[in-house]
Every structure is written in C-alpha cells, then in structure tokens.
Amino acid sequence: MYIGKVEIKDEWQKLEDLIKAQIEGQSSFAFDSDTTYELQCEGDWGARFSDSGTEPTDEDMNEGFCIMNTQVAHYKPSDNDLYVRTKHGTLGYLKIGVMGE
C-alpha cells in the first residue's frame, strides 16, 4: 500500500511529522511497530536516516544509514523516532509505502 511522498531537506526532520504535514489524509499518521515500511528516495543525493530517541545534530550527519538515488530501504519501527535528511544542501523526495500490500 502506497502511503505517499514527502519533501525532505538538508536538516534532520522526524519522518512521522513530515507524513502528517505533507500527505493528504495522514494528519494522524503513526508508524505501527507490527508493520514493515518501504522507503524509496527520489533525487540525486539520496537520504540519510537515523533511528533515534532524540533529534540528531549536525555532528550526527554520518550516523544511521543512507539510501541513494532510487534505492529502497525496509523500515521496522522501534521505540525511537525515524529522522531523515538529504545531503549537500539539496531537496529530495521520499516515497513511503507498506511492504507486502
């Protein structure tokens, strides 16, 4: 099941908040810990992700994992929040879906 697409910036942002703010009909969205999500990047620089209990800082730029171009990552929510950003001052887009639906 396709959830939607969000615009990401070169600053750490909580993915759940981006989904609520940018995807029509998802204002009460919350990741379900029993669900695996597919995350796919659009853009030249890709996206960096950090599964963290607190918002990462600029010093944490190389933490977490990175997907490039149109790579897909699978995300199983934890007790932390998932933060996302692009690199090199770029804007990008991230598509979110539910795996297997």
How many angstroms separate the Cα of 1 from the Cα of each of 10, 12, 50, 87, 97? 27, 26, 24, 28, 5
2-98: which CATH topology?
A: Jelly Rolls (2.60.120)
pTM: 0.90
Amino acid at 95: K
Q: What are the pLDDT digits (tens) for 18-74?
A: 999 999 999 999 999 999 999 999 877 789 999 999 989 877 677 788 898 888 999
